[in-house]
Amino acid sequence: HDLMWEYAKAFASIFSMNGNVLATCDLHGIPCCRTCFSCYSNIILHRNTKEWSKKLSTFYAGLPSDSKKSLQLYLKDWLPLHLIKAQLLEKAYNMIMADKFLVLRVSNGIKHGTQVLVSFIRSFEKELHSKIELNDHASGSQTVSVLSKIRFFFLEFNSSMPLDILIRGEIGCALIMLGTELQKYSRWADSLDYFTDAFNIFHTIKYDYQHPDVIRVLQHIKSCAMKNVVLVSEESPNKLLLQNWNMGNKARFSTELSSHPGYAIVRMRGIYKDFRFKNQSFKIDLLCVGLKESAFALDFENGMMTNSDGYILSTALATVSEGIPLLLRSSINKEDELDKENKRVFDALLAAALFCVGPDGRIFPTKAPHLCLGTYPYPSLYLVARGSPNEAVFKHLSDWLHAKESNISK
């Protein structure tokens, strides 16, 4: 099978058509020339994959219903991938989001079905990202919506009828798989909901705390305990140290940490939000410490650190002092000519984005070298969606309400 795949891939990398005729090379005058076409192999392979996938999906769409019934295996294993590779992304998206397809996909096993769905999602994300501009985050939002749809599909399936313990256990494992995929987009609060759903299912079917799936989901839950990145003293035991860095100008390095093995500086929400400060407007996303799989690269040039989206590492509120959070922000949009006060704020915002890397891997503000990036010793409290299984509920709220009513009556 592997040899057949490699042969087919090699052939598809040199097979090129010019209209209805095989394209020939200029040097040798022969089609499928391994020598002349080798430098264009990736381009030819991508073009053929797109064209042939489109032909296959179009051929299937034109078949009568009776013929399609005998091709259920193609429908659930290959059609979504062919739609994606043909860049018929809207059709692929609608197909994967349909309950009928999800039922078919997991009918022969929830674990394997979820693995295949995740592979479809990754292919979808890759093709969608190749079609949009670098700073357009539509690809991430659509991928997240697919993961959310599959999550609610499993939750409804779990609650709709009495199920065997093994099946419910597989649903819990599927939710872990989906939550782990969601973490790649820095959706920590949302992924925590997925892991909590899985834990609740395991608890309902009487898995004890020594069960491998319970141990695994508790580790994932722990990974969602977000700790904001803040400025701390350079002597703080909570300072963050990069694992690999380069102090030269025009350097690039990962935010993976040596001070916290397995972790990295990551984005808090994975979504840039509009923010306005004085007369300055820009987009931001706060930073926290999370799993290294969500690490991003920073380009260091002229004292500024920028990620692949063009967003700049900066302190919040143009302030450089201990305890101030760190964030990524877009370039500043000046709406009007700046007066003296706003010019001062503008300069402060620029100064708050100047950093250096120490020989030990710490990142420190240029204007305050006695401080560096660090983290709180305890997780942060943050807003979650209404109805989230992780919403905070006050234990003694009824007592407080009763006391309030008593005070009003007096």
pLDDT band at residue 139 under the 50/70/90 scheme = low
Average pLDDT over residues 3-21: 71
pLDDT band at residue 134 under the 50/70/90 scheme = very low
CA angle 257, 261, 267 (to 5 degrees): 50
Instruction: Output Rg (C-alpha) for the chain, integer angstroms.
Output: 26
Instruction: Considering only residues 177 and 317, tell me which one the structure prediction assigns the higher pLDDT.
Output: 177
Nearest to 173 by CA among 193, 157, 156, 194: 194
Give the least confident one: 7-11, 90-94, 134-138, 173-177.
Answer: 134-138
Specify the pLDDT at position 137.
47
Specify the pLDDT at position 382.
76
Specify the pLDDT at position 135.
42
Specify the pLDDT at position 74.
92
Residue 372 has pLDDT above 50, yes or no: yes
pLDDT band at residue 36 under the 50/70/90 scheme = confident
Average pLDDT over residues 139-145: 80
Average pLDDT over residues 19-35: 73
Q: The tokens of 312 are what?
A: 């700049």
Residue 395 vs residues 249, 342, 383, 392, 399: alpha-carbon distances, Å: 53, 46, 18, 9, 9
Specify the pLDDT at position 157.
95
Chain segment 170-194, per-residue pLDDT in tens: 999 999 999 999 998 888 989 999 9
Instruction: Considering only residues 2 and 19, tell me which one the structure prediction assigns the higher pLDDT.
Output: 19
Percent of the chain with pLDDT over 90: 56
The rounded distance, in Å, linking the Cα atoms of 383 and 269 is 11
Average pLDDT over residues 36-46: 75
Chain segment 222-260, per-residue pLDDT in tens: 988 888 999 999 999 999 999 988 666 668 899 999 999
Chain segment 318-340, per-residue pLDDT in tens: 899 999 999 999 987 665 566 77
Chain segment 278-296, per-residue pLDDT in tens: 777 889 999 999 989 899 9
Specify the pLDDT at position 376.
85
Average pLDDT over residues 84-98: 94
Specify the pLDDT at position 288.
94
139 neighbors 199 (Cβ within 8 angstroms) = no
Q: State the pTM of this model.
A: 0.80
Mean pLDDT of the chain: 87
Specify the pLDDT at position 136.
44
Specify the pLDDT at position 387.
84
